[in-house]
């Protein structure tokens, strides 16, 4: 039996308790996260390294249209006789880049709006959130098609439209998270010493909403991949002759019965990427539930 | 132990006594609960949370189980019901209720006994009652006895409600928990526990969230119910004063072991273990005499005059006049809802909806902290009630302290020196600077909060219930620390509901009741001859006991002659 500590005057530091593992390390403990990282990593590797290992250039004719079993073209030719494998290896990075930047911009804008609305409340909150409601009323894909058909399919426009459609959804989540954080006394402590509002938002609030933020980022990335691919398929995304997975599905769907590879490869890549990103997001959100319990006692 | 005679406070005197206990013959004095060598471990680390604990309780008696948070007292309380928190397991020992060993029974067998052999009253009644169910349904559910007819069940529920001094009509049984006050909710929880006439009842700090007046009523109810039913009570608490008032036996827990066990009077008068002595000395005693009179200054540091504050259309404070001189500690005493926090927040510039004047050093303070000068903000600092919420979990201690300093004083030439000095004034070593809040205990967190406040060199420290979330022993250390700061010339506005604490720390006290100051004056005068009825009731309802063991007068930083300056 150890005697009670008699340290009443100056508390001597005992060995500091180890910090609890952060969001990433907690998420990593789940098997689903590991699977997700492997799947996503595989597709990202194909998309990034693909152009460097592709046997031909994406616009080179190596076979007859929809021809299979050609020497030097493992998966045969596409609708114009170009090498399917080469176009598959080239077609990923555009999708990832567009989806990634759209999700990034959308989540960033949504975070700013959400934190401001949650912290300032009052009329600022009302104006921002009602504007959000208006944006939410437009279906994501229909809005994108509408804008594309008016202005024309441009790369920056794809990113902008998807980002804008993500913003209100992210803003709602972050606003809720912010309202929980500002109930805590450390925000009031910062107000009591007169710290400027923008610094309270960036220094006190933002670091404490990172868990829902990361979950949102993963979720929005998954949606962006889907929308970019669908836009490509509908012909409103990247234009021929660019190699792009969405576009490939569209171009080759007529020959699907005789040359399935030209559709199957991009479809399965998109599917695996979406599933992988979803598994990571799932792991993150499970970890976040444990972390954002708020006050621990 | 000086039992407060609270019988006049209990609304109902019609305890049905032996008839209330029904057909069972009440044989008070017979041993009914025996815990023998009980060991509970945590998984997966296999650390012993409680190790080899043995206690016994007789019918009609209450065992007070005392210890600080983390000592394993709640784990022990739950294991008396053969219930284990997640990732814990009973690996050894017996829990004998009557002659049945609960620890060895199957989950199903235990469920049959819960509520009948052993019942539990949890800490927070608000979370113990199901908010979606009417009271009648919950009480009937607690009496899961298939042998009774419907009419008998309802009759039993009404009977037990009368015994806890609650109305027993249908209108009351149809109410939902949110329609009751905190004290009433706790009585319902007590009724739920007693409805099945258990042999043993486990009470896990059932009065912690209640005001002293309500607490006195609830304790009186618990005491008479256990006597009348011949139930053995196990009362878990960190508050020695409450236990001294209530218990027949006392067991002191420290780090998962019972370090001292005995009759209450013996433990209180001749504590054997040094930890028991430390616990006893940490309790602030109600001091009704021996206060020094402070000379009032001509121009106080802080003068609040005619302050009226509210939220929306609700008035919370009316016509408040308070002043604090340099180096003086003024206490704001009041129960929850009295408006004491609103007043302290108005002073700190966190509550804006008020009229009236707050003069600081002769200059009026603006309502919002943002419209005050940086110098004013620097000189008035605020320490929050709950140290678990007051520190940003993503910042190291060093940055928590430097943040306000940079903003109010300027970029320091020697940041490490500033941090080290602030930590030292809060009696922490400089090595704490690199830690995150989650690596600190509750008391250490509150010290960091104080370090953050004193780093900027304020003249007035507003302390809002800063010890209420902490253990009694930690409270004593924090109070000692505040004493030291006060001796260095800092003025304190100390907000609390604990009258015993006030009598030990403050020079002057303002008693707040329903938004008005009902009594204001030097502590000695208010404590020895309270003028207002409310103050008298507060003093009477506060649980208290005498310390008679050798060395007792040297109470931990509580004696006014024993002011230790922290260096």
User: In residues, how long is chain B?
Assistant: 567
Q: Which helix or strand (DSSP H or E) is residue A232 part of? A: helix A210-233
- For residue range B514-533, list pLDDT tens digits in order: 889 999 988 888 888 888 99
| Residue A167 falls in which region: left (phi positive, over 0), alpha (psi -120 to 50) or beta | alpha
User: Which pLDDT score, from 0 to 100, does residue B20 have?
Assistant: 40
- For residue range B48-65, list pLDDT tens digits in order: 888 888 888 988 899 999
- For residue range B14-27, list pLDDT tens digits in order: 443 444 444 444 56
- For residue range B29-47, list pLDDT tens digits in order: 788 888 888 888 877 677 8
Q: Cβ contacts (< 8 Å) between B390 and chain A: which residues?
A: 184-186, 189
Is the pLDDT at B426 greater than 50? The verdict is: yes
DSSP assignment, residue A277? Answer: H
What distance in Å separates residue B358's CA from the closest CA in chain A? 16
What distance in Å separates residue A3's CA from the closest CA in chain B? 8
Q: Are B425 and B452 in contact (CB under 8 A)?
A: no
User: Which pLDDT score, from 0 to 100, does residue A226 have?
Assistant: 87
Q: Which residue in chain A has the smallest CA separation from B434? A: A16
Q: Do B556 and A207 touch (CB under 8 A)?
A: no
Is the pLDDT at B1 greater than 50? The verdict is: no
Q: Do B374 and A13 touch (CB under 8 A)?
A: no
> In chain A, what are the domains?
46-290 (1.10.3720.10)
Rounded to whole angstroms, what are the CA distances from A84 to A46, A54, A240, B209, B495? 14, 10, 15, 71, 76
Q: Cβ contacts (< 8 Å) between B86 and chain A: which residues?
A: none
d(CA A259, CA A252): 8
What distance in Å separates residue A35's CA from the closest CA in chain B? 26
Bridge partner residues of B36 (DSSP): B94
Average pLDDT for B322-340: 87
Q: How many helices (H) and strands (E) does chain B have?
A: 21, 20
Q: Are B362 and B299 in contact (CB under 8 A)?
A: yes
Q: How many helices (H) and strands (E) does chain A have?
A: 12, 0
Each residue's pLDDT expressed in tens, for chain A with a length of 297 residues:
344 433 334 444 555 566 667 778 888 888 889 999 999 999 999 989 888 888 888 888 877 777 777 777 778 778 787 888 888 888 888 888 999 999 999 999 999 999 999 998 889 999 999 999 999 898 888 888 888 889 888 888 889 999 999 999 999 999 999 999 988 889 999 999 888 999 999 999 998 998 889 889 988 998 998 888 888 888 887 777 888 888 888 888 888 888 888 888 889 999 999 999 989 988 888 887 765 443 332
Count of beta carbons in the 10 Å neighbourhood of residue B24: 11
The strand pair at B363-364 and B354-360 is best described as antiparallel
Contacting B with CB below 8 Å, chain A residues are 1-4, 6, 8-13, 16-20, 184-186, 188-195, 203-204, 207-208, 295-297
SS (H, E, C) B209-228: CCCHHHHHHHHHHHHHHHHH
Q: Do A192 and B447 touch (CB under 8 A)?
A: no
User: Which pLDDT score, from 0 to 100, does residue B251 have?
Assistant: 92
State phi, psi for B491 to the nearest 5 degrees.
-90, 145
CB-based contact (8 Å) between B369 and chain A? yes
> In chain B, what are the domains?
7-14+28-281 (3.40.50.300), 302-541 (3.40.50.300)
Q: Do B389 and A190 touch (CB under 8 A)?
A: no
Q: Which residue in chain B has the smallest CA separation from A210? A: B394
Considering only residues B79 and B1, tell me which one the structure prediction assigns the higher pLDDT. B79
User: Which pLDDT score, from 0 to 100, does residue A15 have?
Assistant: 56
Q: Return the exposure string of B138-154: e unless at least 16 CB atoms fall within 10 Å of the residue's CB, then b.
A: bbbebbeeeeeeeeebb
**Per-window interface: B 392-411 vs A, CB < 8 A:** 392-395, 403-404, 407-408
Q: For residue B86, give the 3-state DSSP assignment.
A: coil
User: Which pLDDT score, from 0 to 100, does residue A9 have?
Assistant: 41
Is the pLDDT at B124 greater than 70? The verdict is: yes
B200-204 β-sheet, strand order: B118-121, B200-204, B232-237, B62-66, B249-254, B257-263
Nearest to B74 by CA among B170, B187, B204, B193: B204
For every residue of B403-427, DSSP letters joined together read HHHHHHT---S-HHHHHHHHHHHTT
Give B226's contacts (C-beta < 8 A, 6+ positions apart).
Answer: B60, B61, B62, B201, B232, B233
Count of beta carbons in the 10 Å neighbourhood of residue A175: 24
Burial class of residue A32 (count of CB atoms within 10 Å of its CB; 0-12, 13-18, 19+): middle
Nearest to B322 by CA among B534, B512, B539, B536: B512
Q: Are B219 and B164 in contact (CB under 8 A)?
A: no
Is the pLDDT at B5 greater than 70? The verdict is: no
CA B331 from chain centre, in angstroms, equals 18
Lowest mean pLDDT among B235-244, B410-419, B444-453: B235-244
B31-42 β-sheet, strand order: B47-58, B31-42, B88-97, B100-101
To 10 degrees, the CA torsion angle through B313, B315, B320, B324? -80
Bridge partner residues of B314 (DSSP): B311
Q: Are B381 and B458 in contact (CB under 8 A)?
A: yes
Side-chain-facing half-sphere of B524: CA atoms under 13 Å: 7
- Angle at the Cα of B161 from the Cα atoms of B139 and B199, rounded to 5 degrees: 70
Q: Do A3 and B372 touch (CB under 8 A)?
A: no
Structure tokens at B309: 């504050």
d(CA B558, CA B410): 37
**Per-window interface: B 99-128 vs A, CB < 8 A:** none
- For residue range B81-117, list pLDDT tens digits in order: 887 777 778 888 888 887 778 877 787 888 877 877 8
**Per-window interface: B 452-491 vs A, CB < 8 A:** 452, 456, 476-477, 480
Burial class of residue B253 (count of CB atoms within 10 Å of its CB; 0-12, 13-18, 19+): buried
Nearest to B382 by CA among B406, B354, B350, B414: B350
d(CA B315, CA B320): 12
Rounded to whole angstroms, what are the CA distances from B50 to B3, B71, B237, B258? 31, 8, 16, 9
Q: How confident is the model at residue B389 (pLDDT cuts 50, 70, 90)?
A: confident
What distance in Å separates residue B344's CA from the closest CA in chain A? 12
What angle, 0 to 180 degrees and rounded to 10, lies between the N-to-C axes of helices A31-53 and A92-120?
Answer: 130
For every residue of A3-40, DSSP letters joined together read PPP---SSBPP-SPPPPPP-HHHHHHTSHHHHHHHHHH
Considering only residues B187 and A41, tell me which one the structure prediction assigns the higher pLDDT. A41
Structure tokens at B531: 């003028």
Which of B68, B352, B386, B389 should be substituted to probe chain A, the one whose Cβ sees the most A Cβ atoms within 10 Å? B389
What distance in Å separates residue B46's CA from the closest CA in chain A? 18
Question: Counting one residue from A and one from B, how many pairs have CB atoms under 8 Å apart?
Answer: 106
Q: For residue A197, give the 3-state DSSP assignment.
A: helix
| A11, A18, A184: residue with CB nearest B389 | A184
What distance in Å separates residue A168's CA from the closest CA in chain B? 27
- For residue range B214-252, list pLDDT tens digits in order: 888 888 888 888 888 888 999 998 888 888 888 899 999
What distance in Å separates residue A13's CA from the closest CA in chain B? 7
Average pLDDT for B310-337: 87
B380-383 β-sheet, strand order: B380-383, B460-464, B491-496, B329-333, B508-513, B516-522
User: Which pLDDT score, from 0 to 100, does residue B12 have?
Assistant: 40
Q: Do A8 and B480 touch (CB under 8 A)?
A: yes
Q: Do B566 and A8 touch (CB under 8 A)?
A: no
Bridge partner residues of B332 (DSSP): B495, B510
- For residue range B356-384, list pLDDT tens digits in order: 999 998 899 998 889 999 899 999 999 99
Q: Are B423 and B449 in contact (CB under 8 A)?
A: no
User: Which pLDDT score, from 0 to 100, does residue A6 have?
Assistant: 38
d(CA B563, CA B556): 10
Which ranges constitute the DSSP H helices of B31-149?
A: 73-79, 107-113, 125-128, 135-142
- For residue range B201-212, list pLDDT tens digits in order: 999 888 877 778
Is the pLDDT at B567 greater than 60? The verdict is: no
| B382, B431, B556: residue with CB nearest A8 | B556
Q: Which residue in chain B has the smallest CA separation from A1? A: B257
Q: Which residue in chain B has the smallest CA separation from A186? A: B390
Give chain B's radius of gyration (CA, Å): 25
The strand pair at B302-311 and B100-101 is best described as unpaired
Q: Do A11 and B428 touch (CB under 8 A)?
A: yes
Q: Are A275 and A39 in contact (CB under 8 A)?
A: yes
| A192, A193, A295: residue with CB nearest B389 | A295
Structure tokens at A225: 């991949």
User: Which pLDDT score, from 0 to 100, does residue B563 have?
Assistant: 37
């Amino acid at each position: 039996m150890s005697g009670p500590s008699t340290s009443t005057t100056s508390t001597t530091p005992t060995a500091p308790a180890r910090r609890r593992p952060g969001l990433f390390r907690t998420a990593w403990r789940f098997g689903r996260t590991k699977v997700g990282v492997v799947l996503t990593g595989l597709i990202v590797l194909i998309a990034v390294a693909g152009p460097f290992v592709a046997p031909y250039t994406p616009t080179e004719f190596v076979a007859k249209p929809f021809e299979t079993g050609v020497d030097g073209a493992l998966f045969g030719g596409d609708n114009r006789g170009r090498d399917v494998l080469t176009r598959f290896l080239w077609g990923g990075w555009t999708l990832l880049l567009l989806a990634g930047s759209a999700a990034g911009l959308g989540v960033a804008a949504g975070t700013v709006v959400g934190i401001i609305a949650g912290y300032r409340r009052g009329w600022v909150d009302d104006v921002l959130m009602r504007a959000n409601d208006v944006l939410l009323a437009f279906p994501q894909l229909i809005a994108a098609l509408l804008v594309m058909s008016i202005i024309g399919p441009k790369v920056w426009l794809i990113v902008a439209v998807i980002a804008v459609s993500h913003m209100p959804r992210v803003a709602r989540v972050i606003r809720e998270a912010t309202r929980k954080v500002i109930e805590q006394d450390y925000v009031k402590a910062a107000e009591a010493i007169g710290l400027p509002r923008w610094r309270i938002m960036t220094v006190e609030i933002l670091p404490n909403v990172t868990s829902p933020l990361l979950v949102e980022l993963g979720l929005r990335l998954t949606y962006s991949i889907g929308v970019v691919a669908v836009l490509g398929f509908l012909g409103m995304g990247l234009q021929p002759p660019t190699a792009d997975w969405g576009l490939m599905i569209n171009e080759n769907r007529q020959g699907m019965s005789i040359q399935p590879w030209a559709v199957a490869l991009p479809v399965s890549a998109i599917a695996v990427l979406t599933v992988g990103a979803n598994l990571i997001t799932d792991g993150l959100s499970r970890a976040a539930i444990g972390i954002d319990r708020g006050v621990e006692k | 132990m000086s039992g407060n005679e609270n019988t006049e406070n209990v609304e109902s005197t019609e305890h049905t006594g032996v008839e209330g206990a029904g057909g069972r013959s009440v044989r008070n004095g017979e041993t009914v609960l025996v815990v023998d060598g009980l060991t509970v471990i945590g998984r997966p680390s296999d650390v012993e949370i409680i190790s080899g604990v043995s206690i016994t309780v007789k019918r009609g008696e209450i065992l007070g189980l005392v210890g600080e948070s983390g000592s394993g007292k709640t784990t022990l309380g739950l294991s008396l019901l053969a219930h284990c928190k997640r990732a814990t397991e009973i690996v050894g020992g017996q829990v004998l209720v009557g002659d049945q060993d609960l620890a060895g029974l199957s989950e199903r067998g235990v469920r049959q006994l819960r509520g009948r052999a052993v019942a539990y009253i949890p800490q927070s009644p608000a979370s113990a009652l199901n908010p979606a169910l009417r009271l009648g349904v919950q009480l009937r559910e607690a009496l899961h006895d298939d042998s009774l007819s419907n009419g008998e069940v309802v009759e039993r529920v009404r009977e037990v409600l009368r015994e806890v001094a609650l109305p027993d009509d249908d209108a009351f049984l149809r109410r939902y928990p949110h329609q009751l006050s905190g004290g009433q909710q706790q009585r319902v929880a007590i009724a739920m526990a007693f409805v099945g006439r258990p042999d043993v009842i486990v009470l896990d700090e059932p009065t912690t969230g209640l005001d002293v007046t309500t607490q006195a009523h609830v304790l009186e109810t618990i005491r008479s119910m256990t006597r009348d039913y011949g139930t053995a009570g196990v009362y878990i608490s960190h508050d020695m004063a409450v236990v001294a008032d209530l218990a027949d036996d006392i067991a002191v827990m420290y780090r998962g072991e019972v370090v001292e066990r005995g009759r209450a009077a013996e433990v209180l008068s001749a504590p054997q273990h040094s930890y028991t002595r430390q616990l006893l000395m940490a309790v602030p005693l109600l001091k009704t005499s021996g206060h020094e009179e402070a000379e009032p200054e001509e121009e106080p540091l802080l003068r609040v005059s005619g302050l009226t504050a509210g939220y929306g259309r609700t008035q919370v404070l009316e016509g408040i006049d308070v002043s604090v001189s340099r180096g003086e500690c003024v206490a704001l005493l009041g129960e929850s809802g009295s408006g004491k926090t609103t007043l302290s927040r108005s002073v700190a510039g966190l509550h804006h909806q008020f009229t009236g004047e707050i003069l600081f050093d002769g200059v009026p303070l603006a309502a919002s902290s943002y419209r005050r000068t940086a110098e004013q903000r620097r000189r008035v600092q605020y320490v929050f009630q709950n140290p678990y919420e007051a520190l940003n979990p993503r910042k190291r201690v060093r940055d928590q302290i430097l943040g306000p300093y940079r903003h109010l004083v300027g970029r320091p030439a020697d940041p490490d020196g500033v941090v080290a000095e602030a930590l030292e004034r809060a009696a922490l070593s400089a090595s704490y600077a690199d830690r995150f809040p989650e690596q600190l205990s509750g008391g250490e967190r509150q010290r960091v909060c104080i370090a953050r406040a004193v780093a900027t060199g304020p003249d007035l420290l507003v302390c809002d219930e800063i010890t209420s979330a902490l253990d009694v022993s930690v409270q004593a250390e924090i109070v000692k620390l505040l004493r030291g700061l006060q001796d260095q010339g800092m003025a304190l506005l100390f907000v609390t509901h604990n009258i015993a604490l006030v009598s030990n720390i403050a020079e002057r006290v303002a008693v707040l009741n329903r938004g008005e100051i009902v009594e204001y004056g030097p502590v000695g005068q208010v404590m020895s001859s309270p003028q207002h009825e409310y103050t008298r009731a507060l003093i009477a309802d506060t649980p208290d006991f005498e310390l008679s063991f050798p060395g007792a007068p040297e109470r931990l930083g509580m004696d006014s002659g024993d002011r230790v300056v922290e260096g």
